[in-house]
Structure 1
């Protein structure tokens, strides 16, 4: 039972990491677009 709980926590942590990375990537892309628009 303990092993299953640990695996579940690991899965949740993995999902959180994916969400954070996706949010950072979207923000980074938005910043790049703003910089490009300003350069032009």
Structure 2
């Protein structure tokens, strides 16, 4: 995944920041995963 360039982006800068922070958290392993079978419980 490439880093989002704010100059080429039509999204709200606050939203872009949240997405990029989420990607960094995922890379560091700071996330929860749920199996598909458990989604409906």
Using structure 1 for the length normalisation, give the TM-score.
0.45
Where is the helix percentage greater, Structure 1 or Structure 2?
1
Task: Answer 1 or 2: higher relative contact order, Cα 8 Å, separation at least 6.
Answer: 2
Structure number with greater Rg is 1
